[in-house]
């Protein structure tokens, strides 16, 4: 297996990320500016080292000509998802969500064909009303705000000003929330139902 210095790996990942996000490779000047090198010579030295190791090739007489030879060497960018407190998977509860930090996750590892975006957020589950969907107390659910829910989707919702995690269903054409545990009733909004996010992934902590 080829060995890379930490800086060589960082340069390789920067080239890959620039190609993914902008569709073009960075120039030596941009690499130098990104890493704070005093001159482009340092950037060029790292590129030469990566070329010798067969990870990058340079097409002569072309601007922005850096190309990855083995894209599998590069880690995919992580998504940094804010974690907003907990959400009850039981009876709806009136509570204020508090920011607790963020999760850094690899979208590919979660099997998500989705680019990181600011609509993603995470909540910790409390309660047992969703055990029929294998969602347990202490699990972290990742949700996307602004996604239109379909019947059967698990959603974080505000129902009559109380928050809960339930399955979105239609009953006689009207939206309501269903628990996945028979000891909890369906929740039918008396006035308002606001879908705050649709669940796209679940993370279970090892206890």
- Which residues does the annotation mark as catalytic? 129, 166
Residue 79 Cα to chain centre, angstroms: 4
Q: How far apart are CA 74 and CA 21, in angstroms?
A: 14
Give the residue from 64, 55, 60 showing the smallest Cα distance to 13. Answer: 55
Residue 164 Cα to chain centre, angstroms: 21
Instruction: Count other Cβ atoms within 10 Å, centred on residue 44.
Output: 14
How many residues are there in the chain? 207
Q: How far apart are CA 36 and CA 15, in angstroms?
A: 15
How is 30-98 classified by DSSP, letter by letter?
Answer: HHHHHHT-SSHHHHHHHHHHHHHTTSEEE-TT-TT-EEES-GGGSPPPEEEEEEEEEEESSS-B-----
């Amino acid at each position: 297996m080829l060995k890379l210095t930490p800086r060589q790996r960082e340069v390789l990942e920067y080239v890959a990320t620039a190609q993914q996000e902008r569709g073009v490779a960075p120039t030596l000047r941009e690499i130098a500016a990104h890493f704070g090198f005093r001159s482009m010579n340092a950037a060029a030295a790292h590129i030469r080292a990566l070329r010798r190791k067969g990870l990058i090739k340079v097409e002569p007489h072309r601007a922005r000509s850096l190309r990855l030879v083995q894209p599998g060497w590069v880690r995919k960018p992580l998504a940094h998802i804010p974690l907003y407190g907990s959400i009850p998977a039981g009876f709806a509860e009136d509570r204020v969500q508090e920011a607790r930090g963020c999760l850094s996750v690899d979208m590919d590892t979660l099997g998500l064909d989705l680019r990181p975006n600011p609509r993603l957020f995470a909540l910790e589950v409390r309660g047992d009303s969703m055990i029929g969907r294998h969602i347990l107390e202490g699990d972290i659910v990742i949700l996307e705000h602004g996604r239109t829910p379909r019947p059967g989707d698990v959603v974080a919702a505000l129902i009559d000003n109380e928050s809960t995690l339930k399955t979105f269903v239609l009953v006689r054409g009207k939206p309501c929330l269903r628990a996945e545990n028979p000891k909890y009733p369906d929740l039918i909004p008396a006035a308002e139902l606001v879908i705050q996010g649709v669940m796209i992934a679940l993370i279970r902590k090892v206890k």
